[in-house]
Every structure is written in C-alpha cells, then in structure tokens.
Amino acid sequence: MLRLTEGLKMAKYALVGGLNTGVDFAVFCALVYGLGVPSAGAQVVSYLAGTANSYLLNRYWTFGVRGKRSGAEMLRFVLVNAVSFAAATAALLGLEYGGLEPAAAKAVSVFVSLAVNYAGYRLWVFGGKRQPGRGQIGESES
C-alpha cells in the first residue's frame, strides 16, 4: 500500500505532467498539422517545450526540494529526460509505422514518458532531498 505522502507526490506529479503534456501535445500538433513538420522533428521541439516547465515545478512543488540546485542534479534530470525522450519517440514512431495516426501515437507515447520520468525523478533526481521541516501531510519528521 502506498503511503499518503507517496500518493500526494504522485497526484502532484500527475497535475504537473498534465500541464507539461498539454504544452507538448499542442506544440506537436501545431507543428505537424499547422506547419507540416515531420513527426520526428516536431517531437524534438514539443518535448523540449514540455520539459522546460517540468524541472522547476517538479523540483519545488512535487518533490519539495528546497536546497540549492547542483550541476549533478541538473545532469541527472537531463539524463532521465533523454531516456524518457528516447522511449517516447520509439513508441511514437513505432506506432505511426504500424498505421496509427500521429496524434493518437503521440497520446500513447505520453504514457511511456510519464512512467519513465516519474521513476527517474522520484528515485534518482529528486529523491531524498527535501529540506527538513517541509514534511507533507501524514509524514513524520524523525
């Protein structure tokens, strides 16, 4: 069973992810359907647009990290996003190759990205870095 704090983090992550996904999807569709950009190129631009907001919202709000940012943390964030991007792009292009419409393939690829990012952020990028005294509801401060 999930602890209350983990459930809260997941809910916050989902909200932030929804915002990031909305930007990503809107930019992708504008580029593909509005400007005729191929899916692979549109994926790069749209993914970067969604990721730009992700770091700050997830760091400060979702995972409650208050300390100074470090180069190592930024590098871990970039690496997690690179793995996520590769997985999402493989899903997008594979589904498109299989005959799925670009927007539908993009929608499916979003779920791949969300799972990879949450695990990476929670366990490697922002895990265990909350400032003392910043506990969440139901969490004891030992």
d(CA 7, CA 31): 35
Question: Helix or strand or coil: residue 91?
Answer: helix
Q: Output the six-digit token pair for 11.
A: 């809910």
Q: How are the residues of the chain apportioned to helix, strand and coil, as percentages rounded to the nearest 5?
A: 75, 0, 25
Q: pLDDT in tens for each of the 142 residues of the chain? A: 557 687 888 889 889 988 888 888 999 999 999 999 999 999 899 988 888 778 878 888 888 888 888 888 889 998 999 999 899 999 999 999 999 999 999 899 988 988 898 889 888 998 755 444 444 433 333 3
